[in-house]
Each structure stands twice: as C-alpha cells, then as structure tokens.
C-alpha cells in the first residue's frame, strides 16, 4: 500500500437544505485537487453557525473535511490552499493495535481499575493487542445499576457502591454521553468507530456536538462489554479495591489487588477510578502511591425553558423547527473582583440529577436522552479553583469539595433535594421563597 497524507479542509459552508453529498466536491475545489487524486474522504466536523451577520441571522452549517492523498501528490492549488490557511495537514487516523507488546506482559494478566470510558477503552486496547485483562469496578453492570438508582430515587437512601457515579460506563452513563473533547487526537476515530459498531449513531464521527444519550448508552454498553468479553476481558462487578498487595521482595511492584472478594493477581495495573472515588484515592495514598493536587471546576447548575434557548440561538424562523433543541456556550473573562467563568456540560432538553455517591453529601449533574425530550435545558456555570484557593496538600481540594457537598445536602433539607434559587435572586444574593414549576 502506498503512503498517504491527510489534509483538513476548513470552513466549508453548507446550507440547511443542502445534502451532505455536495461536501466532497466543495472540499476538492477548496483544496485545489482533482477527484482522481483523492484516496479517501471523511467529514471531520460539522457545526451550526447561528451568529448574526449585521442585524440578520443566517443559519448555516460549517464543515471541516479530511482528504487523503498520495504522499507524493503535487498540486499548485493545494500549495496555495495551505499557504492561505484554508487547508492544514492533519495526522492520519490512529489505530489501537501496536507493533509490539512489552515482553513483561506476555502470558500475564493486567488489571484495569474502573469501568468508565478510560477503563473500558484501556481494556479494549490491551485486549486488541493480545494482553489478558481483568476489569474491576465497585459498581454494577448497567441493568443492575439502573435498579439501584431506581431504589435511591424511591427511598432517598444512596448506595455508596452503585449509583450515578459508580458502575458500568462510569459517571458519563448518567450524564448523556457527550463525546466532544475540543482536542484532536489520532485515536479519536477508532474509538468512535467502536461505539458506532456497538449501535451509536454514525453522526458521532463528525458532529461537533456529538451526543449519544443516556437511553442509547444503556443499549450500547452491554454490546461493548460483549465485544470485550469475546476478546478475553474478564469483568469483576461490585468489587471494590481496598488496597494494593505489594511484592515482598520488590515493594515497588504490585503483585495483586486487595478486594472484598479476595486477592486478584496482576502483572500490571491501570488506574481509572474516576473523579469521585475519593476513598480509593486515600487508600492508595496511604500505601505510598503519589498524589498531587490539581485544579478543578466548581459551580452551579442553571435551568431554563428549552424554547428560550432555541429562540435565542435560531430566532423564530421556519428553519428552527428542523434543527432540534439548541445548545449554547458562554464564557466571561476575569474581572477585578471575580474570576473567569464559563458554561460546561450544557444539556439541551435535559434534566438535573443528584450525582450522589456518599451519604450526607450532594452534588448535581445534567443528563439528557438521545431525543432531548425535556421541556427544559440546563448547564453548569463554573469557575476553576486550584491549590492557590484550596491549599497545596494533595487532598485539600477534595476536603473543600466534601465540605461544600455536606453544606448543599443540609441546605436542600437533608433528603438529597437540590437547594435552588431563581436566577435573579441568585445574582442579587437573596433567598427564593417560591419557585415556579
């Protein structure tokens, strides 16, 4: 197979009523190359441009597309497009398979701690390369996890092991499966391909706001698990890791994991416990695993009618009806008396949920299904805190989070109801005595 290069054509416009089939020819024209030179074509990103031009609103899609050409292809048009910035070189899509696995893993088993996105895809990459994997999670597989959550909603008694944060798929299962990272990486394509093979919609491969939906994830995750099991991955559910079993002759080497079900031998360990397994972090730190403080984002959720967001983004023209629920993104620069802030995890047609893993503590998250069917939208409005604000100790930020979550729990009445204010009252610093439904 001859060597190839990939080039990304930027900013191709597509009208709302135009088919995607026109993009290939527009990309070729913008890049100054002929169809005969093309070895591959892929829509890399589609986003809606709803900005006003003057006082008028002109809704349109903006598309980035990748062209694969022979590595030795020469084109004066392509050179002009590169100099003008209409086209940029981009890495070829990566692959999960590697040329060689480290000799120490031959015939050995690797333990992966955590069945969220990081743990699942780490297990996939290892298994694809012939490494035997044990994947351990303190939570439950998806159907049992759903029953545990229903019990929490009915009784208001949290399950500290199987909840909105712990279990198959991790915290993202009960967020809504957002897939946009704002980072281009060669492994993005093969990982998204895997999700499509498990039933995710093909448009996640290029949608700038790629989203699967909590309801679809409940069908996709068991299929992904079956594919991993077919490649030799062993799943250990409801198995909390309480510590490491170190080699007596080499204390820097992990020999096994200490779990509630007994010791689980391993030759190597991949840690992917997620952002809320604080007890696991502390247990590992007590055994000498090094930790350091890192900044995190803290904020509040704001909820508003989805129709309000739709009209603000699309206007009230006939085009809005076929575009679906609108997203938004907001940011503010730091001022003399306030830090910078921005919106995060915006859920169109979604709901706010109690993201609870520990008794007596309350945090919230946003969740939406694939059809964004709620009448409301919500987003987190967050700012970033770092060691300068909460202290330099490895767990000083965690202590602040826990302190605030206990205060939120108490402010909501002690039954995992989220304390709430109207937006005007929040901005004015006063209590809301009555909120509309």
Contact 80, 74 (CB under 8 A): no
- Quote the distance between the C-alpha of residue 78 and its chain's center: 35
Identical fold, 4-90 and 103-286: no
Residues 178, 368: Cα–Cα separation, whole Å: 10
Q: What is the pLDDT of residue 176?
A: 66
Instruction: Report d(CA 77, CA 96) in Å as an integer.
Output: 34
In the chain, what is the greatest distance between 2 CA atoms, to the nearest angstrom? 74
Residues 6 or more apart whose CB falls under 8 angstroms from that of 334 comprise 340
Give the start-to-end residue ranges of the domains of the chain: 4-90, 103-286, 296-428
Cβ-proximal residues to 202 (8 Å cutoff; 6+ apart), any chain: 196
pLDDT at 341: 95
Alpha helices in 198-250 (DSSP H): 214-230
What is residue 123's three-state secondary structure?
A: helix
Residue 437: predicted pLDDT: 44
How many C-beta neighbours within 10 Å does residue 113 have? Answer: 28
**Domain 103-286: CATH architecture, name and number where available:** 3-Layer(bba) Sandwich (3.50)
Tokens in use for 355? 């993201």
Q: Report how far residue 341's alpha carbon sits from residue 325's, in angstroms, rounded to the nearest whole number.
A: 24
Please give the angle made by the CA atoms of 426, 429 and 431, to the nearest 5 degrees.
Answer: 75
Architecture of domain 4-90: 2-Layer Sandwich (3.30)
Strands 132-136 and 109-113: parallel
pLDDT mean by block of 10 residues, the chain; 437 residues: 85 94 96 93 92 81 95 88 94 84 86 96 95 97 96 94 95 78 79 94 89 93 98 97 91 90 93 92 92 93 94 83 88 90 93 92 93 94 95 95 96 93 92 71
The answer to whether the CB of 110 falls within 8 A of the CB of 268 is yes
Q: Are 212 and 204 in contact (CB under 8 A)?
A: yes
Q: Would the CA dihedral through 7, 8, 14, 16 be positive or negative? A: positive
Separation of alpha carbons 31 and 35, rounded Å = 11
Which residue carries 């990748």 as its tokens? 66
How many angstroms separate the CA atoms of 43 and 45, rounded?
6
């Amino acid at each position: 197979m001859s060597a190839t290069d990939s080039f990304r054509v930027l900013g191709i416009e597509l009208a709302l009523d135009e088919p995607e089939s026109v993009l290939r020819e527009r990309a070729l024209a913008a890049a100054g190359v002929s169809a005969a030179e093309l070895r591959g074509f892929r829509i890399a990103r589609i986003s809606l441009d709803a900005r006003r031009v003057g006082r008028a609103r002109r809704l349109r899609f903006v598309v980035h597309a990748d062209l694969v050409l022979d590595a030795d292809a020469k084109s004066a048009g392509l050179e002009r497009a590169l100099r003008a910035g209409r086209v940029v070189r981009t890495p070829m899509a990566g692959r999960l398979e590697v040329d060689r696995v480290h000799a120490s893993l031959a015939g050995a088993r690797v333990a992966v701690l955590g069945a969220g996105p990081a743990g699942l895809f780490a297990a996939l990459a290892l298994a694809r390369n012939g490494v035997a994997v044990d994947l351990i999670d303190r939570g439950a597989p998806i159907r049992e996890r759903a029953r545990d959550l229903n019990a929490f909603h009915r009784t208001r008694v949290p399950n500290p092991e199987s909840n909105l944060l712990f279990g198959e798929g991790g915290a993202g299962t009960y967020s809504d499966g957002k897939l946009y990272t704002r980072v281009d990486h060669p492994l993005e394509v093969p990982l998204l391909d895997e999700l499509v093979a498990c039933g995710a919609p093909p448009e996640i491969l290029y949608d700038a706001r790629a989203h699967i939906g909590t309801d679809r994830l409940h069908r996709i995750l068991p299929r992904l698990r079956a594919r991993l099991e077919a490649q030799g991955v062993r799943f250990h559910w409801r198995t909390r890791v309480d510590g490491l079993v170190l080699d007596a002759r080499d204390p820097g080497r992990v020999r096994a994991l200490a779990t509630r079900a007994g010791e689980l031998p391993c030759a190597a360990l991949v840690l992917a416990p997620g952002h809320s397994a604080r007890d696991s972090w502390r247990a590992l730190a007590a055994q000498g695993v090094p930790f350091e403080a890192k900044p995190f984002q803290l904020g509040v959720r704001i909820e508003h009618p989805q129709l309000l967001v739709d009209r603000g983004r699309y206007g009230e023209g006939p085009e809005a009806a076929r575009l679906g629920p609108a997203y938004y993104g907001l940011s503010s620069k730091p001022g003399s008396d306030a830090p910078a802030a921005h919106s995060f995890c915006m859920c169109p047609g979604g709901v706010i949920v109690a993201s609870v893993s520990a008794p007596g503590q309350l945090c919230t998250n946003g969740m939406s299904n694939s059809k964004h069917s709620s009448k409301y939208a919500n987003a987190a409005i967050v700012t970033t805190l770092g060691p300068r604000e909460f202290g330099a100790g490895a767990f000083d930020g965690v202590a602040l989070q826990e302190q605030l979550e206990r205060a939120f729990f108490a402010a909501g009445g002690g039954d995992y109801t989220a304390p709430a204010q109207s937006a005007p009252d929040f901005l004015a610093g006063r209590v809301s005595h009555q909120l509309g439904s």
